[in-house]
Amino acid sequence: MYYNGCDTECIRKDVVIIERTVLRAQREKRDKTQAQLAQSIGISEVYVRKLESGASRPGYGVVKKFVDYYQQPANKLFPDIFLPLIDTKRSKEEATK
């Protein structure tokens, strides 16, 4: 399969997953394993691993659990979700100013 002159293998190499380094650093700062963190906030260890690696996007409830647990703002823990460049609503509002 081709897309804009590039096969699917090329497209996969261009996809970048942003690791959430602050999220992982906050856990490590508290000397917690992914399993211990998962148990503390009520989610699975696999989900913690996916969230830290950037392979999964959390819903509002999960973001809130991390914000409450770490006492850090959501945009610091999950910067890729709150990037203004991909926030189409904000981009449209700023363009009309």
3-state secondary structure 37-81: HHHHHCCCHHHHHHHHHCCCCCCHHHHHHHHHHHCCCHHHHCCCC
What's 76's domain CATH number? 1.10.260.40
* pTM over cut 0.85: no
Q: Which residues pair with 3 in a beta bridge?
A: 6
pLDDT of residue 80: 84
Q: Specify whether the CB–CB gap between 3 and 11 falls below 8 A.
A: yes
- Number of structural domains in the chain: 1
Domain encompassing residue 74: 2-95
Average pLDDT over residues 74-92: 71
pLDDT of residue 19: 75
Q: Specify whether the CB–CB gap between 77 and 71 falls below 8 A.
A: no
